[in-house]
Amino acid sequence: MAENYIEEDKEYIENTYNRFNVVIKEGHGSTFVDVNGKEYIDFSSGIGTNSFGVSDPEWVKAVTEQASLVQHTSNLYYSLPQIKVAKLLCEKTGMKKVFFANSGAESNECAIKTARKYSFDKYGAGRSEIITLINSFHGRTIATLSATGQDVFHQYFNPFVDDFKYAPANDIDALNALISDKTCAILIETVQGEGGVNALDAEYIKYIDKVCHEKDILFMVDEVQTGNGRTGYLYSYMEYGVNPDVVTTAKGLAGGLPFAAIMFNEKTEKTLGYGQHGTTFGGNPVCAAAAYSILTRLDQKLFDHVKECRAYLEKKLSGRKEIVSISGKGMMVGIELPNGIKAADVAKKCMENGLIPLTAKTKIRLLPPLNITIDELDRGLDILLKCIGEMM
């Protein structure tokens, strides 16, 4: 029974997660099944990682085939799966080179190192400030917590890393006021995920691109959550016709295995040299094979499906008394709840009713698998509406 597992978890696992009382055992597609045999429609995809749902057969085949060839090789040797993924990423994005890591935080660590090194090589010491946005989220390591523009993350672990400045999103004047001859990079999410599913204005994103290129400041986009088809584009920046110097991505890239990529353009591709960055597991062959299986299927047909799902969701939810507003892009959805209704309470009730949503600050956040069917989406939204309705 679930209760026994929960007790054991609490006894043996460090208590850093405020878990919901669900013990997931298995699943298929957009359905999770718990240890008691109860089914849930999945609107979370493991926080945006299971791009094609649970144990998607093509992904399973790619992973098991690679596991039966070789599960890991050191980065001291060339690796076929890595080469295939790096080539595909560069071909699909126009970026020039890739470094592989294991997580979103690590990918942003690499971006931060790249920004500082690029500036050091060209301008010497002292040009080390990185501007990020208020309400951003870039990871849980000390440097990426420092990059994260939320005071709540800047406690307990002092000293943090110096030289991060936080700009209010969508305010060009405020951004200009922070840019100085010490600025080496600006790092943004085009849609702030953990910060509340807030999409940046197109004009603001284009301005950052322009000012960065004018002042030789690196334009870095954190596509950890927005990337890999989530917003209806391969990478969300592609919607805006901008040219970032560094792009980081993880989460959905390998469909649920720990894998991250940092992409460099012609300006940054030579910044990191021998011995200046590395990782044991980064680019692991099984994870790379998983990523190849995902990336080869992130095509226009899928992006159109993501946009169709978005249009369906907006049509179904707009004007409903249970929903105050809808934010985000594609299958990255934020739902503002009526006054007095707490997102965590809605999420709990949804789970009791067979739906797994997420929360982001005061909002309900939905990150369903990208290939969820309209019927599954519809059934899940009905549960969500019912749950909110009963709390009003």
Ligand X SMILES: Cc1ncc(COP(=O)(O)O)c(C=O)c1O
177-181-187 Cα angle (round to 5): 65
Among 54, 85, 95, 105, binds ligand X (CB under 6 A): 105
Residues 137-176 that bind ligand X (CB under 6 A): 137-139
Cβ-closest residue to ligand X? 104
Among 54, 62, 250, 366, binds ligand X (CB under 6 A): 250
Contact stretch for ligand X (CB under 6 A) within 174-182, 189-197, 232-240, 382-390: 189-197
Number of residues that bind ligand X (CB under 6 A): 14
Does 193 engage in binding with ligand X (CB under 6 A)?
A: yes
- The closest alpha carbon to 234, from 295, 312, 313, belongs to 295
Q: Residues with Cβ < 8 Å from 346, sequence gap 6 or more?
A: 337, 357, 359, 364, 384, 387, 388, 391
Structure tokens at 157: 């672990």
Q: Residues with Cβ < 8 Å from 95, sequence gap 6 or more?
A: 89, 247, 263, 264, 265
To the nearest whole angstrom, how small is the minimum distance from the Cβ of residue 139 to ligand X?
4
To the nearest whole angstrom, how small is the minimum distance from the Cβ of residue 307 to ligand X?
21
DSSP letter at 325 equals E
Structure tokens at 48: 């945006």
To the nearest whole angstrom, how small is the minimum distance from the Cβ of residue 112 to ligand X?
12
Smaller CB distance to ligand X: residue 139 or 149? Answer: 139
Among 194, 245, 322, 376, binds ligand X (CB under 6 A): 194
297-298-304 Cα angle (round to 5): 115
Q: Residues with Cβ < 8 Å from 173, sequence gap 6 or more?
A: none
Does 104 engage in binding with ligand X (CB under 6 A)?
A: yes
Q: DSSP 3-state assignment of 308? A: helix
Smaller CB distance to ligand X: residue 82 or 144? Answer: 144
Smaller CB distance to ligand X: residue 148 or 265? Answer: 148
Smaller CB distance to ligand X: residue 250 or 333? Answer: 250
Inter-residue contact 207 to 169 (CB < 8 Å) = no
Residues in contact with ligand X by the rule CB under 6 A: 103-105, 108, 137-139, 189, 193-194, 222, 224-225, 250
